[in-house]
Amino acid sequence: MNFYSLTTGLLLLLCLPTLSLAGHPLITDDAGTLGKGKFQLELNGQYDSDRETVDGVSVKTTGGQVASTLSYGLVENVDLVLSLPYSWGKSEENESTTYDEKGISDVVLETKWRFFEKEGYSLALKPGIRIPTGDHKKGLGAGEVGYQAFLIGSKEMVPWSFHANLGYIRNENKTAEQKNIWHASLAATWETIKNLNLVGNIGIERNPDDNAQNNPAFFIGGLIYSVTENIDLDCGVKYGLNSSETDLSLMAGITLRF
Average pLDDT over residues 122-141: 96
pTM (2 decimals)?
A: 0.90
CATH number at residue 177: 2.40.128.130
Average pLDDT over residues 170-188: 96
pLDDT tens-place string over residues 185-242? 999 999 999 999 999 999 999 999 988 889 999 999 999 999 999 999 999 999 999 9
Give pLDDT, residue 9.
Answer: 52
pLDDT at 169 over 80: yes
Q: Respond yes or no on whether the N-terminal peptide bond of residue 127 is cis (omega within 30° of 0).
A: no
Give pLDDT, residue 151.
Answer: 98
Average pLDDT over residues 121-127: 98
pLDDT at 3 over 50: no
Give pLDDT, residue 245.
Answer: 95
What are 129's strand-pairing partners?
Answer: 109, 147
Give pLDDT, residue 10.
Answer: 53
How many domains does the chain contain in total? 1
Q: Which domain holds residue 7?
A: 3-257
| CA neighbor of 181 nearest in space, from 215, 152, 212, 211 | 215
pLDDT tens-place string over residues 72-94? 999 999 999 999 999 999 999 98
Give pLDDT, residue 110.
Answer: 98
pLDDT tens-place string over residues 4-60? 444 555 555 554 444 444 589 999 999 999 999 999 999 999 999 999 887 788 989
Q: Encode the chain in three state secondary structure.
A: CCHHHHHHHHHHHHHCCCCCCCCCCCCCCCCCCCCCCCEEEEEEEEEEEEEEEECCEEEEEEEEEEEEEEEEEEECCEEEEEEEEEEEEEEEECCEEEEEEEEECCEEEEEEEEEEEECCEEEEEEEEEEECCCCHHHCCCCCCCEEEEEEEEEEEECCEEEEEEEEEEECCCCCCCCCEEEEEEEEEEEEEECCEEEEEEEEEECCCCCCCCCCCEEEEEEEEEEEECCEEEEEEEEEECCCCCCCEEEEEEEEEEC
